[in-house]
Chain A
Amino acid sequence: MNEPQYGWWLPPNVSAHGDDIDLMINLIHWFMLALFVGWSIFIVFCLIRFRARPGHAAVYEPIEARFNRWLEVGVAAAEAVVLIAFAMPVWSKIKTEFPATNTNPVIVRVIGEQFKWLFHYPGRDGKFGKTAAEYYADDNPAGLDFDDDDGIDDITVRGLHIPEGRPVIARLVTKDVIHSFKIPVMRITQDVVPGMEIPIWFEAKSTGEFQIGCAQLCGLGHYEMKAKLTIESPQEFQRWLDEEHSALGL
């Protein structure tokens, strides 16, 4: 496994939209730092300059209101800029502007349960077989209805494989409680809520092996609910799909 460099700040970014998120995070933190340093300098200055000492009385009404108004307006304006120019467009892009069909996205169902992930691909026919809760079994974790022909070539695996440079649309479901699908290096997190199927999309921009984790307390095994993410070249991805297809005896 080629070791990504992890440390005490943001992990490596292998996601197409990750740069937008990282830009926002860094921008906001510079803003925060500026405010904090400004306030702190002012406070320390006051503590020294206006400390009680002989011959130094407090002044009853020393400052006019104008000073403060600029600070408030400034803070509000900066927040408005961050919100309107950055936060809203990025959120819109991630959450609602899904890749069009002509971008040939990889479609995969992600099934969360206590305490593992399952990844369900539609196979060569591009169609998911019908699934239902009544069919869940140890040897049928996706709950496929074997009477449905569409499901014969479906691939169900415990590790997520995706190709670099092609968008992925993941449809998230859970069998039991709320989980959360988090891939730090892809800068995505999405809660998986019982009773809902929630779609998310993402696109990897470099290859490697990474980890997927559960980011919402789901019980005793929550801490070990991880899965492997393999991002590979389109050719390797196709090779992997073919291997899985053969393994099904098809």
Chain B
Amino acid sequence: MSEAHAELGFLRKYVFSTDHKVIGIQYGITALVFLFFGFCLMMMMRWQLAYPGEPIPLVGGLLGETMVDRGAMLPNFYNQLGAMHGTIMVFMGIVPLAVGAFGNYVVPLQIGAPDMAFPRLNMASYQAFVVGGVVMLVSFLLPGGAASSGWTSYAPLAVFATSGQTFWLLGMLFLIASSLLGGINFIVTIIHLRADGLTFFRLPFFVWSQLVTAFLLVLAFPALQAAAILQAMDRLAGTSFFLPSGLVVGGSAVAAAGGGSPLLWQHLFWFLAHPEVYVLILPGMGIVAEVIAVNTRKPLWGYKPMVYSLLFLGFLSFGVWAHHMYMTGMGTTMSTFFQITTMIISIPSVIILTCLVISLWGASIRFPVPMLFALAFLPMFGIGGLTGLPLGLAAPDAFLHDSYYVIGHFHYVVAPGTIFAMFAGIYHWWPKATGRHMNETLGRIHFWFSFLFMNGIFMPMMFEGMAGVSRRLFDPTIYTHAEAAHGLTIMTSWSAWGLALAQIPFVINFFWSMRKEERAEENPWQATTLEWATPTPPPHGNFVETPVVYRGPYEYSVPGAERDFSPQFVKQGG
């Protein structure tokens, strides 16, 4: 199976590689660095929110005079941090980690393929990601700073914004291109490169989740790609796609042709951005499913309903976008349509979550570190999903729209939701990818403190939103009702800084494991899926012999079997 390759130089092997595993690790490390950077932006914002007008400790003295006034944050910088935190976390952090890293690394292995269908396209998609990321980060150095109109870049505000917004649009062009190339690659790979015997309903749930995610990327991103170009034209070429007539900004009439619509931007943006949130969660659900199956020693309960739910969810995700726009002057007919689709889309989510929960029944549950994260995912995603209900219904949304409740809602899904799933995946596949074990004790410390602080950050936000506090406010205490809820802000801020400290054991663990002598076995978790059939770590080409698949992905504790797991790739009875 391994192809005879001439020995590649360092650059071709590790920098300009077309091997999906190298690309996966490149994506992973780059994404984790960007995630950390985005987290740092938030930690600064959290200081301003908890102690408005106070000089920022440690970094206050290092920031420029457009960012801070004698160390205390300025509103312009706050708005930049807000817009870039969201942008970086979503487009440069989670998607590249969940899809680019885990998808690239694991999918070819789990389907028994030697690589992705288009290895060079894969490399190109990573490079486009890096270029987009650099453009985004560099925008902080512009005279007017980075984009500051929210990650949502609503027109007309974003059209009138400083050059940082143009960099945002340019960065998005590259980041979206990266996802489009990657999405095509995943779809073709999963459809065409499955090993013999690996029918669709023998695929691990993780592969299904990546397949649906890839379709979401390919079908939804073009809307934002087009919209970004249109907004760039409004900014640079004198068009008015999103600018109505008669605008007066700061006392002077806007020199634009007019006749455009700000709502058009919102429709195009949210047409992507709603499926995007499913892109953010689906790979995580896939990872959690894998980890739960392995550590419960029994098949996933309701595998088929889960798969059908994934497909239904993906399809429906294109029909709910305007629930982000209830407050734009929408009447009854439109809002009824979107409320109905939004209520319906909660059903497949509930099915997937419930199936994972029921999978615990009758199990023999082991609790290694990946399982701790996977189990925590369940109630955390539960809270995130449930808090979507009052937002998805237009009437309560009238009060909760653009409040801290929304921030709490989506962060519960992405932060102790997806990010925990990412950690589960890192701890779970670490032995296969690196040939080393991670330290269990450090992992447990990492888990428990992360769990504690995640809730410490986002649960107070639910109450803050209920108290009427709006989001994106440089200093909420201007409002009396927000001042009354200030204790919640302080809780959130200290928990955020605590969460940062809680990651230290993880970083130490990374280096600790690489220095260990003792190597991991090929299948340390005694799992059944194909990635565990490779040597550890897998070489270029992955499998020593092309695998053949004989059974489903979760044949654990099969009655009458010798061991409590029957791998897909082992022909038993022979």
Seen from chain A, the residues whose Cβ lies within 8 Å of a Cβ on chain B are: 4, 6-11, 20-21, 24-25, 28-29, 31-32, 35-36, 39-40, 42-43, 46-47, 50-52, 56-63, 65, 67-68, 71-72, 75-76, 79-80, 82-83, 86-88, 90-92, 94-96, 113-114, 132-134, 136-138, 175-178, 180, 182, 184-185, 187-191, 193-196, 198, 211, 213-224, 226
Contact = CB atoms under 8 A, between A and B. Distances in A.
B386 interface: yes
Given A43-B357, A94-B398, A176-B247, A198 B329 contact: yes
B331 to A, nearest CB: 6
A52 B247 contact: no
A237 B243 CA distance: 38
A91 B328 contact: no
Contact of A83 (B328, B340, B479): B340
Interface stretch (B39-47, B163-171, B362-370, B429-437): B362-370
Contacts of B357: 39, 42-43, 46
A214 B389 CA distance: 24
A63 B358 contact: yes
A134 B253 contact: yes
B330 to A, nearest CB: 8
Given A47-B360, A63-B301, A21 B157 contact: no
B395 to A, nearest CB: 4
Chain A interface helix/strand/loop/mixed: mixed
Nearest to B467: A8
Given A8-B463, A58-B362, A191 B331 contact: no
Interface stretch (B27-35, B420-428, B509-517, B556-564): B556-564
B297 interface: yes
A36 B386 contact: yes
Contact of A65 (B245, B297, B302, B395): B302
B339 to A, nearest CB: 6
Contact of A50 (B360, B479, B480): B360
A178 B248 contact: no
A21 B160 CA distance: 36
Contacts of B296: 50, 58
B389 A6 contact: no
B564 A57 contact: yes
B154 A224 contact: no
The residue among B248, B353, B396, B475 with the most chain A CB atoms within 10 A of its own CB is B396
B468 A28 contact: no
B461 to A, nearest CB: 11
Contacts of B331: 95-96
Contact of B479 (A76, A211, A222): A211
Interface string B311-336: 00000000000000001111110011
A243 B480 CA distance: 28
Contacts of A75: 346-347, 350
B329 A196 contact: yes
The residue among A4, A193, A221, A223 with the most chain B CB atoms within 10 A of its own CB is A223
Interface residues of B, number: 104
26 contacts: A8-B487, A8-B488, A25-B390, A25-B466, A36-B386, A43-B360, A51-B367, A59-B363, A60-B298, A79-B389, A80-B343, A86-B395, A91-B336, A91-B398, A137-B251, A176-B247, A180-B402, A182-B470, A190-B329, A191-B327, A194-B244, A195-B245, A195-B260, A195-B261, A211-B480, A222-B474
Nearest to B391: A28
Contacts of A175: 247-249
Contacts, number: 293
Given A56-B364, A68-B355, A72-B347, A6 B467 contact: yes
The residue among B296, B327, B389, B394 with the most chain A CB atoms within 10 A of its own CB is B327
Interface string B234-256: 00000000011111111101100
A14 to B, nearest CB: 13
Nearest to B560: A60
CB-CB nearest 7 A-B residue pairs: A195-B244, A62-B362, A184-B468, A6-B484, A46-B360, A58-B298, A59-B362
Contacts of B402: 180, 189, 215-216
Given A42-B357, A83-B343, A184 B399 contact: yes
Contacts of A95: 330-332, 335
A80 B347 CA distance: 11
Contacts of B481: 6, 11, 184, 211
A217 B150 contact: yes
Given A194-B262, A224-B478, A178 B75 contact: no
Nearest to B393: A87
Interface in B132-171: 149-150, 154, 156-157, 160
Given A193-B263, A226-B478, A11 B467 contact: yes
A223 B78 CA distance: 11
A31 to B, nearest CB: 8
Contacts of A185: 468
Contact of A40 (B253, B254, B327, B379): B379
Contacts of A226: 478-479
B301 A58 contact: no
B62 interface: no
Contacts of A187: 398-399
Contacts of B251: 136-138
The residue among B336, B403, B468, B476 with the most chain A CB atoms within 10 A of its own CB is B468
Contacts of A195: 244-246, 260-262
B289 interface: no
B339 A58 contact: no
B347 A76 contact: yes
B157 A7 contact: no
B485 interface: yes
B87 interface: no
B395 A136 contact: no
Contacts of B119: none
Contacts of B305: 68
B393 A83 contact: yes
